[in-house]
Amino acid sequence: MNLPMTQEWLLKMAEKEGNGVISVGGLVGRVEANALALASPATERGALAQLVEWQRRKLRWTVEDLAEKANVEVEDVLAIEMGEGTPEPRTLFNLAAEMNLPAPKLMHLAGLVAARDPRLEKAAVRFAARSAPIEALTADQAAALDEFVRVIAE
């Protein structure tokens, strides 16, 4: 983009602007805020928790390993894997990057996005229904994880 601006113009306009509020973006009802914490069905939060835990275990990382690699707090990873609280967008982005998962889909599963994604919701239900709390990833779990990851990566 070519943006010609003389210094005189800039100084004059900056003086005119003052430094008051110039925000554009709507009032509370329209603007996303962590405080609003859109309700996400328990199944999707459960799918997020399972996805993060299983992907981590597939990579043979401890919770501490993942937290360090993703530059997030250990407590935040634990909370996500236990389906507690509402994760910060930054945490999800960092985890997604480290585990090669699509960040926008994680945001959906965490309930941080208002718009619905019916295909993702169905996939989350199927994935959550096939999960079970055991230590090592079984071949079935690995297959279910791979299938879910494939779906959300599309």
Partner 1 sequence: MNDGKKTMTLNLTDAEMRVLEDLARKKDLTKTAVVRQAIRLYQMIEVRLGQGEKLVFEDEKAQKKAELMVL
Partner 2 sequence: MSSTPVQIVRYDNRALTNALLQTDLRPRVLVEVEQEWGPFRRNAARRLVQGGTPPQEVPTHWHWDWGAKSQNLELLAYRCFGIECDRKMQGLMMVLTAGKQARLAPDAGKPVVYIDYLESAPWNVIPLVVVPIYAGIGMVLMRAAIQLSLDEGFHGRVALHALPQAEEFYRDKCRMQGSGSDAQYQNLPYFEMTRDLAHQFLTT
The residue ranges that bind partner 1 (CB under 8 A) are 115-119
Place of tokens 């279910």: 144
Name the minimum Å distance from CB 88 to partner 2: 7
The verdict on 129 binding partner 2 (CB under 8 A) reads no
Q: What angle do CA 45, 49, 54 make, to 5 degrees?
A: 145
The verdict on 34 binding partner 2 (CB under 8 A) reads yes
Euclidean distance between CA atoms 138 and 154, whole angstroms = 24
Using a 10 angstrom Cβ sphere, with 0-12 exposed, 13-18 middle and 19 or more buried, the burial of residue 25 is: exposed
Of partner 2, partner 1, none, which one does residue 9 interact with (CB within 5 to 8 Å by kind)? partner 2
Q: Which stretch binds partner 2 (CB under 8 A): 28-36, 40-48, 124-132, 134-142?
A: 28-36
Task: Name the 3-class secondary structure at 101.
Answer: coil
The verdict on 18 binding partner 2 (CB under 8 A) reads yes
Euclidean distance between CA atoms 92 and 99, whole angstroms = 10
Binding partner 2 by CB under 8 A: which of 16, 60, 116, 154?
A: 16
Q: Which stretch binds partner 2 (CB under 8 A): 4-12, 41-49, 72-80, 135-143?
A: 4-12
Residues 6+ apart with CB under 8 A from 114: 32, 38
Applying CB under 8 A, the residues found at the interface with partner 2 are 1-3, 5, 7, 9-35, 88-90, 93, 97, 103-104, 107, 112-113
